[in-house]
Structure 1
């Protein structure tokens, strides 16, 4: 008899960033997108610094959204 242990693919908290973010960008009348992930800001970073870094990260993967309007941005500590 062989027994297998269930394994999870959920990253451990240590493998995640210290903050959870959600960003929605829109090109009015053309396109909209929402992405989310985790992020660990550098020491001394401000909320504005984090927003700029996250927006740049998102638009690097979607250059067509570079001039999009930010419809929603949330950045919260990644713990319950």
Structure 2
């Protein structure tokens, strides 16, 4: 077990539409982080979406198909 993991795990599935020449694409992102005290699920969504679109600008404006964040401890 990696002790460096954050306290929460997230996953997000996103869809970017295609055009007449190419189909759309489904993207998956997942990871872990430790939210600061008082962070809400909405805050986490906004923070993670910002990081994802910064890392992959093609995902700016993508449709989010699924998002979840849960405690990382089983």
Q: Normalising by the residue count of structure 2, what TM-score does the alignment of the two structures yield? A: 0.85
Q: What is the SS of the residue equivalent to 2:42?
A: helix
Alignment equivalent of 1:11, drawn from 2, 24, 47: 2
5+ residue gaps in structure 1? 1-9
5+ residue gaps in structure 2? 19-23
Find out whether 1:66 has 2:60 as its counterpart.
yes
Stretches of 4+ aligned residues off by more than 3 angstroms: none
> Could you say which residue in structure 1 is the equivalent of 2:15?
26
- Max radius of gyration: which structure? 1
Q: Normalising by the residue count of structure 1, what TM-score does the alignment of the two structures yield? A: 0.79
